[in-house]
Structure 1
Amino acid sequence: MTNQNDEQALPLLRERAEHALKNASSPASHLSAAPEALQHELSVHQVELELQNEELRQTVVQLREAHEKYVGLYDFAPVGYFTLDADGTIIQANLRASRLLGVEKSRLLGRRLTQFTAPDSRTTLAVLLPRLRTSEQGLVAELRLQRNDGTTFPVRLEGQAYAPQGSLVAVTDVTTEKAAQEDLLRLNETLEARVAERTTKILELSAELRTVAMAVAEDLMAPLRRVASFAELLRHNGTEDKEASLKHIELIARSAERMEQLTSGLLEYSRASHGRVRMAPLDLNRVFAEVEKDLRPHMEGRTVQLTCTPLPTVLGDSSTMQEVFLKLLDNALKFTSTRELARIHVSAQETDLAFVLRFEDNGVGFNNRYKDKLFQVFKRLHPESAFPGTGMGLAVVRRLCTRFGGRIWAEGRVDQGATILVAWPKQPTVLD
């Protein structure tokens, strides 16, 4: 094909030479003594040579420019390139490959690629290289390369046969891709954990709802039965026994008041489950000071030491935290009412995931075997005649803490005081 092209180009070259010679002012001086025909032929040939030389010079310039462009593209490609011989020795490498390994290009040449492969990937590369030399479609593998400073990094290696027994290898750094995959895996694991956690909380809330329903039924039915019973007595007795009627009316009123208290407690519990939330950093020292101010009327006529150590700043809802402190401190005041000197102390400890708040008192305490009942709706460990209340306060606190991913528990002994502990998470998650 090349010879045919050359044969076609010769008449054109001759024609160009004739045209150039015709436009010349005079024939070359060193040909003036030759016969005219020979002189013409030599002149044409000389012009042809000059034209060919000019074309060759232009071709060389174009080839040089193309080569420089190729070298630029090769060196500054975003992928590292290695040309390997039959033994896996590097005979050519681009600038990206040099930068990936932290080695100058000149120091890469003549060294085997396995020298820059992490120990745990050398077997993979040793198996891959012979297959590369015979592969026409190319092969892809993932392994780890090792930089000059000893650090390793993951790469995707793509290669194919190149020249006799050699291979061309492209190396892409996939560190970012691998990190993204690991982040995604961690996110999936975290998501699964969060789903499991929320499922557990939902099951707990469902069980709690059943408990509340039963407690409401039991506690509300008792005063309802009393109202119905005393109303029936009034209907039968009429006005015959005025003193007995007044007593029945008083008991009816007391039962109605009890129902109102229970209903109010139930509404408060419901608000604790569904109130609006506004998350913000809260200085618990300020929360303690404000609640202490609100509780001063409850401490009139008593000797009370209400103290706290420096408390942390937590992330939470202001009204929720105010309610937690108010109910726990009010509870401590109630159960220290029989003490000549009531001591109530609030402190905090920090763990990796939460702040643990301790509300300690020297009150009547409780039997530790029944500590779980403390936080159930309408459940009491002490007679109402000694310590009035609906048995709803600690249940509300438990619901508030659970809603934010927190936890509450108690420790105590009969007549030796009690400690209520609240684990408030550093990153609360609101669950309605």
Structure 2
Amino acid sequence: MKDVTTQLQQLRDKAEALIDKRQLSPEDVSEESLSRIWHELKVHQIELELQNEELRKAQQTLSISRDRFAMLFHQAPVGYLVLNPDGLILEANETFCRMIGAEAGTILSRGLNDFLIDEDKGTFLARYRAFYNTPDEKSMELGIRVTGDAVRYVRMSGTRMQQPSAGPTGKSLEERLLVTLIDITDLVLAQKTLNAHLGHVQAMLALLQHPLDNSKDFLEMVLQTGISITESRYGILMHGWDGRRFMVSAWSQEVSGDCRIADAQASVDLHNLDIVRESLHTREPVVYNDTGRLGERPAHFPPGHIPLQRLLCYPSAAGQGRVF
């Protein structure tokens, strides 16, 4: 009603100004003219009231739509970012903030490249300009650093959008890029595990196909395959016949460089290897994930032995002998 009252007051002021200009007096206006003017003013008043009511309804609808859009933007199951041509983050939804464990205030106006893992930064910088210009049917898979130095992998796709911006010449529309970031961490880790298993299978197949005419080469390949599959640093291969004494057959190059045993021997009594005795007796692989609890070196390993954090003992029977 305030808008209607204001408009009526403006009409009144204009009318009074016209009367003053024309120097009209009440005697110059007939009763019929006054009645017609009064009717027109009432009609105009009602028109203004109806227009004002429609305007209020439109504002309410716009407010509801804006709130609904904000809710969909921030509570979407995927991350949303609005980027400028330089890759700076102009807007970020709450999902993306939760994804990387950061507050929105620490994200805005920073480059997306700041949050990527080192190995993906070069790829992003090299491809972003072309991605920004023509994002349709394009995507990038990126690793994002999150709180605690963890990594979350995402697939990024985008679409161009126009965003209103207030400039010195008034409001204008600026081109922006709205990107969607879908969390594919589980998929990437599963693929890495699958690739690792495939590599293990291929290594075992290569081992099975290796000729046995040279036992030294074969044992060396067995050792290197074991180190590769278990992702170990050191590897030692021993064999024995009587279950009491074992001969060192091969060892990895790292052993030679890091081992500082003063009196190294090619054979070792089993009673001096009680840390692997369980594996021998059960004929099952045994893993020690924390040899530190046993002291600086595994029990009964001689001074100068290579430092061990984790230890895998894997027995393999061959005829009457056993190989570790």
TM-score (norm 1): 0.38
The structure richer in helix per residue is 1
TM-score (norm 2): 0.50
Structure exhibiting the larger radius of gyration computed from Cα positions: 1
